[in-house]
């Protein structure tokens, strides 16, 4: 059962854009996973680490609550939770991992000219990152704009008339382009992060062993 006391818990995305690179990193660290039958967790053979297989959105809260000791999550998801005030200082440890790079961008219909933040005054901005969007708008003196939370299909919001702009993750830019949108502002550069809370002495030793292996992989890539 999942109760091996003393094991370090690491929460990772079960399936999706982060998952493949995360499992690849663990493999390069020389770690072998034994998949459990229920696929909610896997055990690492070489170190006392249990891997929790979850939705990426749940990872910051799992770490903040102590249900997981460490997590691997996109900077976009981590910073949104932090900007929303949901983590306080309970997730102090962060190590950049260098994969799943992307940008969080405000984009407008291509035909709109954009010369600066004030052009966004009064706009409704469709996003699943309301805390980061609202913080950026406030920091940049945009007045009367508001984020409209959507959980997907942001890129069609302007055409549907439910928003004037979007704030979404951009990688190649192909999705924006296909929907007649263009980047106005990049509000966050994101990559995968190893995050962690306060650990007991025992678990801190295991976390240190994992970090050393990750640093070894990163050095061999440079
Ligand atoms: O099921 P679960 O909740 O775990 O996964 P998810 O569907 O919420 O997330 P997933 O797997 O799509 O992405 C996980 C993480 O990968 C994100 O939080 C980012 O940190 C990172 N990432 C890197 C991306 C992209 N690249 C990306 N291109 N996340 C999303 N996209 C989407 C974006 O939302 C947009 O729809 O891809 C589209 C844009 O891509 P381009 O190439 O057309 O610009
Ligand atoms: Zn998600």
The CATH superfamily of 102-190 is Periplasmic binding protein-like II (3.40.190.10)
Complete DSSP assignment for the chain: ----TTPEEEEEESSSTTHHHHHHHHHHTT--EEE-TTSSEEEESSSSEEEEEE-GGGHHHHHHHTSSSEEEEEHHHHHHHHHTTSSTTS--EEEE---S-EEEEEEEETTS---SGGGGTT-EEEES-HHHHHHHHHHTT--S-EEEE-SS-GGGHHHHTS-SEEEEEESSSHHHHHTTEEEEEEEEEE-EEEEE----HHHHHHHHHHHHHHHHHHHHH-
- Contact residues for 27 (Cβ-Cβ < 8 A; gap 6+): none
Give, for ligand 1, the residue of 71, 80, 102, 181 to mutate: max count of ligand atoms closer than 8 Å to Cβ.
Answer: 102
C-beta of 127 in contact with ligand 1 (< 6 A): no
Q: Where in the chain is the domain with CATH 3.40.190.10?
A: 8-100+191-221, 102-190
Distance 169 CA to ligand 1 centre (A): 7
C-beta of 17 in contact with ligand 1 (< 6 A): yes
Architecture of domain 8-100+191-221: 3-Layer(aba) Sandwich (3.40)
C-beta of 97 in contact with ligand 1 (< 6 A): no
Ligand having the closest approach to the CA of 73: 1
Nearest-atom number in ligand 1 for the CA of 154 is 36
pLDDT means per 10 residues in the chain (222 residues)? 74 96 97 82 95 97 95 97 88 89 98 97 98 98 96 90 96 97 98 94 96 95 80
Q: What is the ipTM of this complex?
A: 0.98
Supply the pLDDT for residue 1.
Answer: 41
Supply the pLDDT for residue 96.
Answer: 95
Supply the pLDDT for residue 201.
Answer: 94
C-beta of 189 in contact with ligand 1 (< 6 A): no
Supply the pLDDT for residue 147.
Answer: 96
Contact 102, 21 (CB under 8 A): no
């Amino acid at each position: 059962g999942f109760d091996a006391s003393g094991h370090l818990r690491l929460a990772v995305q079960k399936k999706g854009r982060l998952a493949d690179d995360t499992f690849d990193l663990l493999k390069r660290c020389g770690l072998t996973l034994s998949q459990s039958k229920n696929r909610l967790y896997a055990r690492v053979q070489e170190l006392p680490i249990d891997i929790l297989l979850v939705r990426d959105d749940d990872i910051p809260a799992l770490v903040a609550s102590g249900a997981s000791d460490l997590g691997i999550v996109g900077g976009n998801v981590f910073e949104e939770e932090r900007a929303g005030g949901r983590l306080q200082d309970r997730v102090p440890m962060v190590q950049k991992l260098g994969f799943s790079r992307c940008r969080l961008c405000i984009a407008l219909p291509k035909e709109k000219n954009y010369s600066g933040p004030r052009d966004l005054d009064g706009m409704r901005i469709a996003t699943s990152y309301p805390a980061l969007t609202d913080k950026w708008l406030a920091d940049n003196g945009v007045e009367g704009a508001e984020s409209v939370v959507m959980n997907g299909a942001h890129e069609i919001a302007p055409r549907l008339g439910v928003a004037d702009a979007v704030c979404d993750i951009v990688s190649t830019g192909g999705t924006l382009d296909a929907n007649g949108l263009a980047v106005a502002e990049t509000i966050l550069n994101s990559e995968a992060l190893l995050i962690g809370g306060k650990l007991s002495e025992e678990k801190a030793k295991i976390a240190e062993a994992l970090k050393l292996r990750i640093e070894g992989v990163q050095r061999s890539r440079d």
